[in-house]
Amino acid sequence: MYLKTPKRYAKSKQRRSPLSLRWLWLWILTPIVVVVGSQVYQRRAEFAPPVQQAINNVIESVQSGVSTVVAPTATATENPTAKLNLAENDWREGRIESAVNSYLAIAAALPNDATVHNRLAFGLIMQGRDDEALTAAENAVTADPFSSDAWAIRALALDRNDRAGEAVSSSLRALELDANSARALAFLALAYYTEGEYDLALSTSQRALEVDPSSYEALNVRGVIAQSFEFDREAARDYYQQAYDIAPRVPYVAVDLANILYTLGVNSGDEATMNSNMDDAISILSDVIEVNPNNGLALFALGTLYFRGQGNFSQAAEMLSRCVDANPNSIDCNAYLGRVQSSMDDNQSAIEHLQKAVDLGSEFAYYHFWLGRSQRALGLCSQALPNLRHGRELAVTDDIPDVVAAADELIRECEASLGIISATPIPEATAEATPE
């Protein structure tokens, strides 16, 4: 169909202008471009650096964008499942040391797994690593604030770190969450005992056994109270033995049984009983370190048994050296290693380890006295006197007369060698020793 074009759109002939604007602009701009180009060329040394820098900036921007687009894939986090299974198997088999190492490796990857942190804390306690155990126990509570076990183990860790008052509160919180937790009751009883609330400790430990007669934790704490509050060593031995029969792979249970066997043997007055109990105690502790070769509690106990019970200084030094290697900040392991070394006339090494025990905060009279005595043996009286005097003060407070008497003698010797007028009291002569 044919459409008629409106007039305003229809082609019409236009008259061409004699002056073209395109050519006008060409003649105007050409001289300008030539002049500018000539100037840039003549001053190229001045213009080149900023131009090059601008180009470099563009290139770097592009490269940065490309590198971001093709950035390497982040390294994958190791799946903790394998180590978790290994740790659980080790825990069941009593390989506490290996289990703790595995739990340490995966704990950060499992921040909300209260079981992992509970076992880690309990395992560290069983190795004598009390400060680390408290950190792990706090993490367990954070992982599950409604776990009675987490609060109970935190109580035990607090007690081992000399914070018994807080341990009581933590145990009570555990009981709020589970009123029938024998574990929480046992650790509450232990905290009461540490606080000097002996009657409360006794009644609470008995209540724990009523809740669960087969709780090795309750049986063990009941043994502690029988031994140190009721002074019934035979009953204590029975409680410890029951706990050990239920949980032979728990190191601290084995240690408590071994120590009471040694004590009963020494106090029996019968050489055959003493030797038999000593052999049993050493066997129990040896079983522990066979499975857990770096267990500080068992190594310390075994070292002191070799030293006190058998006078076997070399074996004692070996066990206590291993204990220090396993836990360099153990006050007891350092102090007793120093004591053994002084008995072997290695007073220089003895001073090193006894000084470490004192520097770690020990306020035990024997440790300060042993340090002073080793320093006196090397003629270091100016160093020995402060330790001997402080050890004596602690011994007076703790009613340890043998340390007081021995310290008095060494203090007088040191004061005399240094030309100090002694202020140390001289014991009154006995009637038999008084000259007529």
- pLDDT tens per residue across span 102-138: 999 999 999 999 999 999 999 999 998 999 999 999 9
What pLDDT, on a 0 to 100 scale, did the predictor assign at position 152? 97
Query: Is residue 105 within 8 Å of residue 116, measured between CB atoms?
Result: no
Task: Indicate the pLDDT class of residue 416, thresholds 50, 70 and 90.
Answer: very high
Q: From the CA atom positions of the chain, what is the Rg in Å? A: 40
Of residues 50 and 164, the one with the higher pLDDT is 164
pLDDT at residue 192 tops 70: yes
Query: Could you tell me which residues come within 8 angstroms of residue 104 by beta carbon, excluding any fewer than 6 positions away?
Result: 120
pLDDT at residue 48 tops 60: no
Measured distance CA(123)–CA(197) in Å, rounded: 27
pLDDT at residue 75 tops 80: no
Measured distance CA(243)–CA(1) in Å, rounded: 112
Question: Which residue reads 């900023």 in tokens?
Answer: 50
pLDDT at residue 410 tops 60: yes
Mean pLDDT of 293-316: 95
Query: Is residue 185 within 8 Å of residue 207, measured between CB atoms?
Result: yes
**Which of 41-45, 176-180, 430-434 is the most confident on average?**
176-180
pLDDT at residue 363 tops 80: yes
What is the separation of C-alpha 417 from the centre of its chain, rounded to a whole number of angstroms? Answer: 44
Of residues 301 and 33, the one with the higher pLDDT is 301
Mean pLDDT of 278-286: 96
Of residues 39 and 293, the one with the higher pLDDT is 293
What pLDDT, on a 0 to 100 scale, did the predictor assign at position 52? 58
What pLDDT, on a 0 to 100 scale, did the predictor assign at position 64? 52
Give Cα separations from 250 to 99, 228, 244, 256, 381 (angstroms). Answer: 13, 21, 8, 11, 45
Q: How many CB atoms lie within 10 A of CB 122?
A: 27
pLDDT at residue 47 tops 90: no
Measured distance CA(138)–CA(151) in Å, rounded: 9
Q: What is the DSSP letter of 307?
A: I
Q: Which of 435, 434, 392 is nearest to 411 (CA)?
A: 392
pLDDT at residue 65 tops 80: no
Q: Work out the percent of the chain whose per-residue pLDDT is above 90.
A: 74
Question: Which residue reads 């008084």 in tokens?
Answer: 434
Q: Which of 154, 133, 122, 135 is nearest to 327 (CA)?
A: 133
**Model confidence pLDDT, tens digit, residues 129-159:** 999 999 999 999 999 999 999 999 999 999 9
pLDDT at residue 6 tops 80: no
What pLDDT, on a 0 to 100 scale, did the predictor assign at position 420? 83
Q: What is the DSSP letter of 327?
A: -
Measured distance CA(72)–CA(294) in Å, rounded: 42
**Model confidence pLDDT, tens digit, residues 382-396:** 999 999 999 999 999
Task: Indicate the pLDDT class of residue 80, thresholds 50, 70 and 90.
Answer: confident
Of residues 397 and 25, the one with the higher pLDDT is 397
Take residue 235 and report the two structure tokens written for it.
């009953």
Task: Indicate the pLDDT class of residue 433, thresholds 50, 70 and 90.
Answer: very low
* Coil, strand or helix at 390: helix
Take residue 321 and report the two structure tokens written for it.
């050296």
What pLDDT, on a 0 to 100 scale, did the predictor assign at position 27? 58
**Model confidence pLDDT, tens digit, residues 221-274:** 999 999 999 999 999 999 999 999 999 999 999 999 999 999 999 998 888 999
What pLDDT, on a 0 to 100 scale, did the predictor assign at position 345? 96
Measured distance CA(375)–CA(358) in Å, rounded: 14
Q: What is the DSSP letter of 308?
A: I
Task: Indicate the pLDDT class of residue 356, thresholds 50, 70 and 90.
Answer: very high
Of residues 52 and 168, the one with the higher pLDDT is 168
Average pLDDT, the chain: 86
Measured distance CA(378)–CA(374) in Å, rounded: 7
The beta strand positions in 141-227, using DSSP E, are none
Lowest mean pLDDT among 72-81, 90-99, 143-152, 224-233: 72-81
In what helix (H) or strand (E) does residue 100 lie, and over which residues does it extend?
helix 96-106
